[in-house]
Amino acid sequence: MARVRIKKGDTVIVIRGKDKGKVGKVLRVFPDEQRLIVEKVNFVKEFIRRDRSRNIQGGIMEKEAPIHISNVMLFCSECNRGARIKNKILEDGSKIRVCHRCEASLDRMR
């Protein structure tokens, strides 16, 4: 199984499928299934049954569905497009992810 290089909170761009070109934040990652949920991407309709005991009104609800990791790329705000990832080791010994094209850091500052 390939290692997942995308983390929760990363900004990604969709490169294949019906939502091609959309940019969104990763809400959840499923590494075993090689899938992730991206904010405002890949909406599906879910049919909710009415349940009076739990006070739930039935109807049709839209929610984000998982998308395969191979269909997204990390988004580089410097290049303003999808970026291949390269690891870089800093002087203090920590590793960060950088854009392969412009060497801009893709990790969030903690």
- pLDDT tens string 21-51: 999 999 999 999 999 999 999 999 999 999 9
Residue extents of the structural domains in the chain: 11-83
Average pLDDT of the residues in 89-110? 86
Single-letter amino acid code for the residue at 13: I
Give all strands (DSSP E) within 1-110, no chain letters. Answer: 11-14, 23-30, 35-38, 43-48, 59-64, 67-68, 72-76, 81-83, 85-89, 95-99
pTM of the model: 0.84
Closest to 40 in 3D by CA, of 28, 21, 23, 60: 23
Name the CATH code of domain 11-83 (choices 2.40.110.10, 2.30.30.30, 3.30.460.80, 3.30.565.10). 2.30.30.30
Closest to 85 in 3D by CA, of 102, 68, 77, 97: 97
